[in-house]
Amino acid sequence: MADGPAFSGSPLDRVSHKRTDPAWLERQLADEKTRFLPVWRLEPMVKLPAAQALAWAKWVLFEDLDPPPEPVLLGVADGVAHFAVDVSALEKPEVELGVSDVACFAELRAIASSMPPGDAGIAAHARSLVDWQQRNRHCPACGGSTRQVFGGSQRNCIDCGAEHFPRTSPVVISAVVRGDRCLLGRSRGWPARMYSALAGYLEPGETIEEAVRREVVEESGIVVGDVRYLASQPWPFPSSLMIGCIAAAETESVVVDHVELEDARWFDRNVIRAALDGAAGELVVPPSFSIAHYLLRSWVDSP
């Protein structure tokens, strides 16, 4: 199986020690080798005809835009700086940028499964960072306007001087197992027969283990004992960190919280394996780029 869940493993060095240096940033922005990823309404620009690999551009592509966009630094690879550029103000971005024949903007969920892992990781970073920039134009402390600093890794309030940083919301997600069965839940509005691992936001003052036990018992009535961390995944919709665990159930009787879930039930290992392999049957699992898919595959393939 893959080395890690989708959206992990970006090849870019985030160069935290460099992005606070204005002179260094100016040199990168002026460098002909620097690459820029256009992002339109949180959709990255990708190459045609396959629409799978990211389409990088030079700054000349943006020179005629008014007002000029502010690039946000993603990182450096092989000595070349990479930035994201928000072009959401454009109505017809492919036409206005003159790239209709070679590129398009694509919804990340739709293309994540077919993207090279490194590109998916970069796109996730770009999407989350651009979204944070859009949502934080004003200071939550005083309401004043904020400005971008340090290559977009921080925004400072012009009026009160408060410093604001990108935030990530931690979410625990668990494959709850007992013997050769795994507990999966279903939300309203999902495609027919789709079930997934149980998940919920980590609350203040909770450990990961405590959050898993609370979420599982709240949603399904199942009491969980041992909780084992397996893997994490940046989830850029808009900006969460999925903390993937395998949780050992101590009880079997399911009592569904119908406010949270439409249904929850136990599935045999062989049923889940068949669904992961694409077989038509009683179960449909989440797409391959999700950490839920990764958790289920890890459990199915384990001894």
pLDDT in tens, 41-94: 999 999 999 888 999 999 999 999 999 999 999 999 999 999 999 999 999 999
Residue-averaged pLDDT of the chain? 96
- Rounded Cα gap, residues 100 and 188, in angstroms: 38
In a domain, 10, yes or no: no
Q: In terms of domains, do 183 and 72 share one?
A: no
Residue type, position 287, single letter: P
Residue 226 shares a structural domain with residue 275? yes
Examine residue 91 and state whether it is found in any structural domain, yes or no.
yes
Number of domains in the chain: 2
Q: pTM of the full predicted structure? A: 0.93
Name the CA dihedral angle for 58, 132, 105, 11, rounded to a multiple of 10 degrees: 60
3-28 average pLDDT score? 94
As a whole number of angstroms, the distance between CA 132 and CA 127 comes to 9
100 and 37 part of one domain: yes
- In this structure, the answer to whether residues 33 and 128 fall within a common structural domain is yes
List beta partners, residue 194.
284
pLDDT category at 116 given cuts 50, 70, 90 is: very high
Asked whether residue 45 falls in the same domain as residue 111, the answer is yes
Residues in the chain: 303
Q: Which of 3-12, 115-124, 176-185, 193-202 shows the lowest mean pLDDT across its residues?
A: 3-12
Give the domain CATH number at 200: 3.90.79.10
Task: Verify that 179 and 76 share a domain, yes or no.
Answer: no
Instruction: Tell me, yes or no, whether 66 and 125 share the same domain.
Output: yes
pLDDT band at 4; cut points 50, 70, 90 = confident
Neighbour order of strands in the sheet with 146-149: 146-149, 154-157, 163-164
Which residue intervals of the chain are DSSP H helices?
Answer: 22-30, 93-97, 108-111, 117-135, 208-220, 269-276, 291-301
Q: Is residue 16 part of a domain?
A: no
Instruction: Verify that 182 and 94 share a domain, yes or no.
Output: no
Same domain, 210 and 131: no
Range of the domain at 119: 22-135
Residues 106 and 188 in one domain: no
Q: Is 57 within 8 Å of 38 (Cβ atoms)?
A: yes
Examine residue 154 and state whether it is found in any structural domain, yes or no.
Answer: no
The answer to the question of residue 163 being in a domain is: no
State the pLDDT at residue 51: 84
Amino acid at 156: N
- Residue 6, domain member (yes or no): no
